[in-house]
Amino acid sequence: MGTVAQDIRTHVVGDLLMLSGTFVAGGREVDYSSHLTSVIASGGHITSGIVTTGVLINQAGNEAAGQTTLTVDGTNATLALYPGQSIYAVDGTFQGVLAGVAATELTLEAPGLIAQMDDDAPVCVFGAYKPGVTLISKSLDISVDETRKVLVIDAPQNTTPPDGTSDSGGRWWILGQR
């Protein structure tokens, strides 16, 4: 498992110490043993933004701006998306808010699709991918291994790099005793 480049910043909070830093593609552990004796709390967030869901536009003539019903294929949309969720194009362009989700059809709230989406374009979400049915967790998970004294970062994969590491980046923090 890769270790995060140690760009650790320290912040004194009364008699506690807060560590913070960033993680990038492949980095999944932060060694805090030289800074803290115990951890009280930790957290993090992804800054990479857009994550693909496996759901693809399925319209030979493309889906035009303003459409409120989108035909999709690829991953069963009910396993990947949920009503109320915002969707995006792969370039990060906001495309609309889901009003309804069926296996091969998405319904958008008015005003519908913001910009045209081409056939086979991926339907994306912002931040950690949280499928409607969790078969494989794709959300950010920050855990503390107190035995090894490392913060373990499990970030979603936007794509699958050859080495199986995450390609998502973000920020992390740990609050603990010195």
Looking at CATH, the fold of the domain delimited by 50-126 is given as Elongation Factor Tu (Ef-tu); domain 3 (2.40.30)
Cβ-count burial 127-160 (b if 16+ within 10 Å, e if not)? bbbbbeeeeeebebebebeeeebbbebebbbbee
Given a cut of 50, whether residue 134 has pLDDT beyond it is no
Given a cut of 90, whether residue 58 has pLDDT beyond it is yes
- Indicate the class that CATH gives domain 9-48+136-177: mainly beta
Q: Are 174 and 36 in contact (CB under 8 A)?
A: yes
Report field, pTM of the whole predicted structure over 0.85 = no
What are the pLDDT digits (tens) for 83-93? 988 999 988 88
Residues of the chain with CATH 2.40.30: 50-126
Given a cut of 50, whether residue 161 has pLDDT beyond it is no
Q: Which two tokens stand for residue 138?
A: 């794709």
Q: Which two tokens stand for residue 130?
A: 């949280």
Please give the share of the chain, as a percent, with pLDDT higher than 70.
77
What are the pLDDT digits (tens) for 8-18? 889 998 899 99
- Please count the other Cβ atoms lying within 10 Å of the Cβ belonging to residue 48: 18
Given a cut of 60, whether residue 133 has pLDDT beyond it is no
Given a cut of 60, whether residue 38 has pLDDT beyond it is yes
Residues of the chain with CATH 2.60.40.3940: 9-48+136-177
Per-residue CA distances from 178 to 10, 13, 40 (Å): 11, 11, 11
- Give Cα 53 to chain centroid, integer Å: 10
Q: What's the mean per-residue pLDDT of the chain?
A: 81
Per-residue CA distances from 70 to 36, 107, 111, 114, 133 (Å): 51, 6, 13, 12, 21
Distance CA 81, CA 47 (A): 21
164 versus 102: the higher-pLDDT residue is 102
- Please count the other Cβ atoms lying within 10 Å of the Cβ belonging to residue 14: 5
Per-residue confidence (pLDDT) for residue 125, from 0 to 100? 86
